[in-house]
């Protein structure tokens, strides 16, 4: 993003993972928003992201911050994840206001980049997109989900019937948990501490999905929680890889 801003004079940037790509017509749908004048109302646009199989990619489903709205908070208490993520019917068409999204098919205006700066490279992987877009929303930025702007994410961290529970490769455990703590802290404010008491047991129980590497899973989770609480982002990737060895 910084290279694009420094080397060119863009009106908008689009960000995607190396295993993400626009579906045919996806970029044309974004350009159509500009031609219709719809982009004038937004600082950023999130694409509708699907697996190659055509199913909605859950990890890229945008959300509202439940701690900024009583209705979203109560809905989250009742429904869990479905309470604060946009409903699946939003994928049928139209635009929806959101607070948080991923970097798979994320369009952001150059004006918004100049306002809030760049993602923190020390986060490396996981959560950098959510922290960045939540920060944009907190700064008054307007983000929408556009159902007609479709992207594909050939995502394979969780595979072979893992149901989103087993990390492959294992070292991703550290970044996932550490950065989620940073995100929860930014999103929840003073409610972060009771939230922490709810999520830590869930993370520890996921050790059952990692036979053969359970000690390494627990070790990485402990380091992630400690570094996340202390807001330490200086641990090298080499150290993380060493801790991931059983």
Give residue-wise pLDDT tens across range 133-165.
Answer: 999 999 999 999 999 999 999 976 655 444 457
For residues 105 and 200, state if they share a domain: no
Q: Which residue range is the domain that position 230 belongs to?
A: 172-243
pLDDT above 60 (res 105): yes
- What per-residue confidence (pLDDT) applies to 207? 95
Q: What is the DSSP string of 107-149?
A: EEEHHHHHHH----GGG-SSSHHHHHHHHHHHTT--EEEEEEE
For residues 197 and 236, state if they share a domain: yes
Q: What percent of the chain has pLDDT over 90?
A: 80
For residues 79 and 180, state if they share a domain: no
For residues 139 and 207, state if they share a domain: no
**Does residue 180 lie within any of the structural domains?**
yes
**Does residue 142 lie within any of the structural domains?**
yes
Q: What letter does residue 166 receive in the DSSP assignment?
A: S
- What per-residue confidence (pLDDT) applies to 170? 95
For residues 129 and 186, state if they share a domain: no
Domain count, the chain: 2
Cα–Cα distance measured from residue 150 to residue 104, given in angstroms and rounded to the nearest whole number: 10
For 171-203, what is each residue's pLDDT tens digit?
999 999 999 999 999 999 888 999 899 899 999
Domain of residue 23, CATH code: 3.90.550.60
- What per-residue confidence (pLDDT) applies to 39? 96
pLDDT above 80 (res 75): no
- What per-residue confidence (pLDDT) applies to 163? 47
Cα–Cα distance measured from residue 59 to residue 63, given in angstroms and rounded to the nearest whole number: 11
What is the gyration radius of the CA atoms in the chain, in angstroms?
Answer: 18
Q: Cβ neighbours of residue 177 under 8 Å, at least 6 residues apart? A: 203, 220, 221, 224, 225, 228
For residues 238 and 206, state if they share a domain: yes
For residues 59 and 149, state if they share a domain: yes
**pTM as predicted:** 0.88
For residues 67 and 143, state if they share a domain: yes
Cα–Cα distance measured from residue 233 to residue 21, given in angstroms and rounded to the nearest whole number: 29
């Amino acid at each position: 993003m910084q290279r694009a801003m420094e080397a060119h004079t863009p009106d908008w940037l689009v960000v995607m993972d190396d295993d993400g790509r626009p579906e045919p017509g996806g970029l044309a749908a974004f350009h159509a928003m500009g031609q219709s004048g719809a982009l004038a109302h937004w600082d950023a646009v999130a694409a509708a992201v699907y697996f190659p199989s055509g199913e909605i990619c859950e990890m890229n489903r945008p959300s509202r911050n439940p701690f900024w709205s009583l209705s979203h908070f109560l809905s989250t208490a009742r429904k869990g994840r479905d309470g604060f993520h946009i409903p699946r019917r939003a994928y049928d068409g139209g635009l929806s206001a959101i607070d948080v999204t991923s970097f798979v098919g994320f369009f952001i205006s150059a004006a918004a980049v100049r306002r809030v700066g760049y993602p923190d490279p020390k986060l490396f992987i996981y959560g950098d997109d959510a922290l960045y877009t939540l920060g944009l929303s907190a700064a008054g930025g307007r983000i929408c989900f556009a159902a007609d702007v479709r992207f594909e994410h050939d995502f394979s961290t969780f595979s072979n019937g893992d149901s989103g529970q087993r990390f492959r490769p294992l070292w991703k455990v550290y970044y996932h948990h550490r950065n989620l703590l940073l995100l929860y802290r930014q999103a929840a404010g003073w409610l972060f501490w009771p939230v922490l008491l709810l999520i830590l047991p869930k993370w520890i129980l996921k050790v059952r999905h990692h036979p053969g590497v359970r000690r390494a899973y627990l070790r990485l989770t402990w380091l992630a929680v400690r570094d996340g609480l202390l807001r330490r982002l200086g641990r090298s990737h080499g150290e993380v890889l060493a801790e991931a060895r059983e």
